[in-house]
Amino acid sequence: MAATKDPAGPTHVIVLAGGLSHERDVSLRSGRRVAQALREAGHAVTESDVNAQLLDVIAGMDDPIVFPVLHGGAGEDGALREVLDVLGVEYVGSPGRASHVAFDKAVASPLIAAAGHATPRQAALPQDMFRELGARALVDALAAGIGFPMMVKPAMSGSSLGCTRVDNAAALPAAIVTAFGYGDVAIVEEFIEGRELAVSVVDLGRGPEALPAVEIQPLSGSYDYAARYTAGETRFIAPADLTPDLAARCSELALAAHRILGLRDISRTDLIIRGGVPYFLEVNVAPGMTETSLVPLAIEAGGLAFGDVCSALVATARARRAAAAPA
């Protein structure tokens, strides 16, 4: 797989990073890396946060391409992308509505399951229901319907923030309350024991293609926030040591999730392999781009240069803008 060079040459790119989510610091690190890579590829780059000056920054440029590297919250829920659509500003990544669906685990996972792919058993629990029905009744129902161990996590968050493995009924209420600290809906799902992998999908000008899978082996046994973003805390195997058949099925699952959810340009699907079967966990429309993030590792494993891929994504967005322009 080779990244397609941008035939039109350099573009003015606005790299958006930061925001107000719990993942702000990671976003800033991702944004700096993307911005530097694009500069080295010859693009003019402006780095911007999401603030009151952003629209003026966009208006002051001649047809820029926006490259959002915003994680969590308003960065991945599609809201900002819908604003860019209204403004007629082209950007790298999935459209607003698709981003919102992908970001909401209570919506995305059932859609993937309905298409015939393996997913953990899952229940979505709104905070008001937890409050009205009471913890005791819900704990009994969830224990019977899902069983232990289970994973409790916010419906709309990332970087494993607010996620807790629960091994018994006594620990479940506190785990649910922790998840509510990151949003109004908690996901309670079957905990799948197995090999944890991530498969990235990119469109470098020829349509969506899956990069090599990356296997994740956290030293602590849990791929939490510290394991994700602290160098040396996790062993990454890129490409993952998989049989050709299993590697193909992991790639097919990531491509299917990308297609089913209406995504474009770039996504990363997280999955677990149990008994030779890949299980869909979640998908990210603005995956991390730091030195310890999974997409850059997959890019390297695919024999590509990070800067070439970032530049090709910009070219894909610019080609989409050109195709939509009136004749």
User: Which residues form the catalytic set?
Assistant: 23, 159, 229, 268, 270, 282, 284, 288
Q: Which residue has the tokens 């047809």?
A: 63
- How far is Cα 62 from Cα 144, in angstroms, rounded to an integer? 59
DSSP 3-state assignment of 14?
strand
- Other beta carbons within 10 angstroms of residue 110's beta carbon come to 13
Phi then psi dihedrals of residue 258, to 5 deg: -60, -45
Residue in 86, 43, 82, 49 with CA at minimum distance from that of residue 65: 43
208: preceding bond cis by omega (within 30 degrees):
no
Q: What is the DSSP string of 78-96?
A: SHHHHHHHHHT--BSS--H
Do β-strands 44-48 and 12-16 pair in parallel, antiparallel, or remain unpaired?
parallel
Which residues are CB-contacts of 98 (< 8 A; sequence separation ≥ 6)? 78, 261, 262, 263, 264, 285
DSSP 3-state assignment of 13?
strand
- How far is Cα 164 from Cα 176, in angstroms, rounded to an integer? 8
